[in-house]
Structure 1
Amino acid sequence: MAATFGGTGPVRRSRTFALCAAAAVLTPLTACAGNTGGAAQTGEGPVASQTPGATPAGDQGAWIPDFVEGMTLEQKVGQVFVPTFRSRPDAEKIIRRYHVGGLIYFPGNARTPRRTAQMSNALQRASKIPLLLGVDEEQGPVTRLAYLTRFPGNMALGALARPEEARAAARVTGTELRAVGINQNYAPVADVNVNPANPVIGLRSFGSDPDLVSRMLVGALQGYRDAGVAATAKHFPGHGDTDTDSHTGLPVIKHSREEWERLDAPPFRAAVQHGVDAIMTAHIVMPGLDRSGDPATMSRTVLTGLLREGLGFQGVVVTDSLSMAGASAKYPAAQAAVRAFLAGADQLLMPPDLGRAQAAMMSAVRKGQISMKRLDESVTRILWLKARRGLFGDVQVDPARAEQVVRSAAHRAVARRVAEHSITLVRNRNGVLPLDARTTVHVTGPRSGVLTAALRKRGVPIAASPGAADVTVVTTLNDGKATKAKVAASGRGQVVVVALGRPYDLGHAGSADAALATYSSGAASLDALAGVLSGRVRPAGRLPVQVREFDFGHGLTY
């Protein structure tokens, strides 16, 4: 008889575990010693170890196929789901009822390093199989944990064009995530942003050049691997050329197969070759790859044909959030979950109704629509990922240490370096920059107060109005149309335009004497900008995208 988990509550784990070959389950060594007739049956079934040194000897995942064979249908189906949760009691109820393979954090349940670490410990104790505790922590415009060391984001890293800096940034973020018990990050973004009007990717991309994105992506993947966190390259087959947000609609990308191979595929191919842990799907329609009209998340042609068979990816395929409008634009939510699984997905992320999605999956297996072989393949991949990232060792974290690791001085120094080196100067007529020590400056636009304070701290004279200033600094934040008007109304002196968000705003700089991009309006980037404007820091970034008359790779210094 196959062993089952049984029971509903948390199971106390022995301090030492080993593989009992006869039963092919992880059980205490004391139960296995001298046992030649099978493992002792406790009524609880196979319980995965989470103690130091507990990964079975030899191949770290050799035990997994037999372990999967001993799981019940409910436990197998549960492993493919990664839902949201409101609170610890809510999460523990979900774990008991649905045997989920993971959970995803959002700001509401991850308020401080200590509390997040305590939550992670409690959730892992509640689960008989270690959980993949994930988060969308891309840095830049998509961040969930406000207390982490803040980085400008991928496009700023693209302006550096140094993979070792992407690795350093990801290592910092990954180290802080692991310190609070989070072991999977739904990052980094592998999309090549070739559409300046893209409403959903933009700064989240490393840039518009497939080679640059590939190199930076691999650097980031290595950084997460250094930190022991499972990384997730996204959004396959490529979300970089859309003018529709898949959170609110279903984008159609009209790349031909040849264009996809040239523009979108290279970063994902590089990720697969680097052994990426997981790849996230996109809720997009790409007729050049699949004419069915199905979103890529529900397309077997895309996920199994291109990703598995074409690129040779053997890791975990995770859907983008199934709560997004793009996921249910063609199929009802529960049906969409089954279709995504049939297409080739392993992890079903954030179903809008977990109960209905689980019931639909159970029904599909019982009716033979999903074969047990296919289900076992996904469960095996998920458990392999957990083993590969050390989750069958001790996953309990120290809440006190988490507070020391997060935002440490060393980590903040890395973020400061990235911010400073990414500032990109694309125009500097008549040497208006750096500012002369006697030049009076007025700052107007988004985040003007923060930038003014940073300039004042560096001894730059501040004017109360544009009319009283020698130089007016006009900041803009993803509002290119308004930039030209702001320049025209900026006063009698010289004008410096700074794009605090997407660098495409610089295409509207008009007659401005100088123009720069920071790729971020965060504190580190504004402080770095003040350093560049005042001459304390030399600009070193180069445009990772084309911005009208400013070519890809363009950048000035002084």
Structure 2
Amino acid sequence: MSTSDLSRRSVLAGGAAALAVGAAARSASAATGADSSPDAVVPGEARGERGWVTSTLRRMTLQEKVGQLFVQNVYGSDATTADDRNLPLYGVASPAEVVQKYHLGGVIYFAWTDSVQNPEQITGLSNGLQRAALTQQSKVRVPLSISTDQEQGVVTRIGPPATQFPGSMALGAGRSSADARTAAAITGRELRAMGVNTDFAPVCDVNVNALNPVIGTRSFSSHPDLAARLVAAQVAGYQRDAGISSSAKHFPGHGDTATDSHVAFPIITHTREQWEQLDAPPFKAAIRQQIDMIMTAHLSFPALDDSGDPATLSRAIMTGVLREELGFKGVIITDSLAMQGVRDLYGDAEVAVRALLAGVDQLLMTPAMDDAYAAVVDAVETGRLTQADLDAKVERVLRLKYRRGVVARPYANPDRLSALVGTPRNLDAAATITDRTTTLVKNDDGVLPLAVSGRKVLVTGYGATTTATLAAGLTSAGATVTTMETGSAPTDAKIAPAVAAASAHDAVVVTTMKAWDRSVTDPTGGQQKLVTALLATGTPVVVVAVRDPYDIAYLTNAPTYLATYSYSPVAVEAAARVITGEVAPGGRLPVDIPVAGSGTEVLYPFGHGLSY
């Protein structure tokens, strides 16, 4: 059976004849390989949406409605093969059985669940899960939202051959709204080609805390205006250009914390005025772009709600601020409910109910599905959660699926993958965009650009793939390269051979990755020791920070320093081109870099960047 046949049958099974006009328009678009834009409404579209949503909602059982409120991770690389890891969570073994048992509203993909291996596998899994959702015993046919966190940069779930970008902070360094939109459009189109119709991106958090352990380079900037401008561009790229749902995160703002909400409960101490000035602008920009979804943050924000509850469970924040003050009408989804930041005060079942009472529409990755599902059903049956409130939440979810074309085209076409995913045109665009992001922060000795042809260069520091990629780029420019990877926390035994080798080379390029982080990444300060020891050899040293630009505050003795904001190969390849002078550095710092330990005194300001 062809994917077009499956799609047609799913539409007809929905029982809404008014859908036909919109479905026909989308089918024609799919046949030509074009991406339908849900923002361009065809005649009869609004009428079709109302008809399908109203008809579907009327015929759903309570259990089916509650199921639409849950988005869960499922284990396994295909829909129908049993995976025993599902049993303790769901009591059934295959991903398809999980979808059908709970009438799930959506699923989320991760590498650790074996959901994302290659485009063909992802497409097969997506189609299999949609088939499970659309063929179960029910009076309604509701397709799944299939989601992932393809922020790019440090949070990238689907690797090559899908097109890779260096991430949000790199785009902030490039300053181009057009580039940010193009990156989102390419990412979104490739996701849609694999059956993924929702991307939990962009990050709206404004990273004003250089010691932030969970956001960092996932943020566009420490300046809200730049962050807001690039957020708006990416929402347009995902939704208008690629036709998938975009989700802004993490409301009301996770940019000023030194605590990771995955393992603890952060408290944001901004005043209401500071929130308005710093945290709110990117979310307001996303809402102006009619973003489909907003994801909550598991943190306390006393200036917005002094109850002590996490924002995810706060009616004052979710309903009072997000719905009523900011006027957001789309779907509110929690961040993962398995994170510790939301589990400290209440049990998992109660967390699910409280989130819905606060104003949330969908619950992401509850770790106690049976208990949470039963608790929500009970909350409706006892009147704690009203039927009207439940219906309003489900209606928002259904409306989103219709408007994004998931109802009309739930299935991906595997025959189109090679024409849409990781194409030469997309890869060229990614390289061109990334070339505009590399930032030269210091070049005190004028070492860069480095004439490497015929010279011996040592590449050392963080990352086996990172150092190998950088070495390949320098080799292609004519250098004779020795590679000695030392890791994220190099020991003296790793440092000594690299230092000995430096003296026998004409230049050294050393990569650092969160060298500032003495608490987790590098508790002994090995990266800082490595750089200092290399500098003492007298051989010219180029330091390349391949994640946080803040490393320079702890390496002030380094005379030459590049920031890439990402260890993705596309960013490292761009760094090699900058080092050799093939490309002039064009990025400017999208954040203030504070003096180490000061928190306020600025070492390098927002906007700083050198060139050749």
| TM-score, with length taken from structure 2 | 0.82
Matching residue within 531, 535, 555 for 2:577: 531
Aligned equivalents of 1:372 and 1:327: distance in 2?
Answer: 25
Matched, 1:325 2:315: no
Distance 2:268 2:476 in 1: 47
Partner of 1:485: 529
2:120 pairs with 1:132: no
The one-character-per-residue Cα deviations of 1:193-217 (angstroms, maximum 9, x if unpaired) are 0111111000111010000100111
Amino acid at match of 1:71: M
- Asked if 2 retains the 8 angstrom alpha-carbon contact of 1:50 and 1:391, the reply is no
The reply on whether 1:216 has 2:230 as its aligned counterpart is yes
2:168 alignment partner AA: N
SS of match in other structure, 2:383? coil
Q: Is the 8 A contact 1:319 1:345 kept in 2?
A: yes
Say which of 368, 373, 387 aligns to 1:372. 387
Match of 2:507 in 1: 471
More moved, 455-464 vs 330-339: 455-464
What are the Cα deviations for residues 297-322 of structure 1, in whole angstroms up to 9, with x where unaligned?
A: 00000000000001000000000011
**Paired residue type of 2:562:** L
Unaligned runs of 5+ in 1: 1-10, 20-24, 33-47
Residue 449 of structure 1, CA deviation: 3.5
Three-state SS of the structure 2 residue aligned to 1:109 is coil
Report how far residue 85 of structure 1 moved. 0.9
Counterpart pick for 1:308 among 310, 323, 338: 323
**Partner of residue 114, structure 1:** 120
- 3-state SS of paired residue (2:104): coil
From 431, 441, 449, the counterpart of 1:416 = 431
| 1:68-87 alignment, distance < 5 Å | 68-87=57-76
Distance 1:149 1:12, change over 3 A: closer
> How far apart, CA to CA, are the structure 2 residues paired with 1:348 and 1:422?
36
Could you tell me which residue of structure 2 aligns to residue 343 of structure 1? 358
Q: Matches of 1:28 and 1:268 in 2, distance apart?
A: 37
Match of 1:45 in 2: none
Structure-1 residue corresponding to 2:498: none
May I ask how many residue pairs the two structures share in their alignment?
526
Q: Which residue of 1 aligns with 2:247?
A: 232
Cα distance, 1:12 vs structure 2: 7.7
Check whether the contact 1:155–1:206 (CA below 8 A) recurs between aligned residues.
yes
Q: Which residue of 2 aligns with 1:155?
A: 169
- Preserved contact between residue 192 and residue 213 of structure 1 (Cα < 8 Å): yes
| Residue number among 43, 57, 62 corresponding to 2:44 in the alignment | 57
Pick aligned residue for 1:96 from 100, 103, 115: 100
Are the counterparts in 2 of residues 74 and 362 from structure 1 also a CA contact under 8 Å? yes
Identical-residue share of aligned pairs (%): 45
SS class of match (1:61): helix
Please say which of residues 200-209 and 107-116 is displaced more in the overlay. Answer: 107-116
Distance in structure 1 (CA, Å) of the matches to 2:65 and 2:146: 18
Deviations 1:222-277 (A, max 9, x none): 11011111000000000011111111111111111111111100000111111001
Give the match for residue 157 of structure 2: 144
Secondary structure of 1:379's partner?
Answer: helix
Which AA in structure 2 matches 1:187? A
Paired residues of 1:318 and 1:348 also in contact (CA < 8 A): yes
Structure 1 residues 150-198: Cα deviation after superposition (integer angstroms, max 9, x where no partner)? 1111111110011111111111110110001110011110000011111
Cα distance change, pair 49–385 in 1 and its aligned pair in 2 (3 A): farther
After the TM superposition, which of the residue ranges 207-216 and 508-517 deviates more from structure 2?
508-517
Q: CA deviation at 1:469?
A: 2.8
Match of residue 182 from structure 1? 196
Give 3-state SS (helix, strand or coil) of 1:190's partner. Answer: coil
Q: Is the 8 A contact 1:50 1:130 kept in 2?
A: no
Aligned equivalent of 1:552: 606
Q: 1:209–1:482: structure 2 CA closer, same or farther, 3 Å change rule?
A: farther
Give the secondary-structure state (helix, strand or coil) at the position aligned to 1:340: helix
Q: Secondary structure at the match of 1:83?
A: strand
Amino acid at match of 1:510: T
The aligned amino acid for 1:503 is P
- Give the alignment partner of residue 459 of structure 1, picking from 478, 491, 499: 478
Q: What is the TM-score of this pair, normalised by structure 1?
A: 0.90
Kindly report the root-mean-square deviation, in angstroms, between the aligned alpha carbons of the 2 structures.
Answer: 2.4
Alpha-carbon distance in 2 for matches of 1:405, 1:506? 39
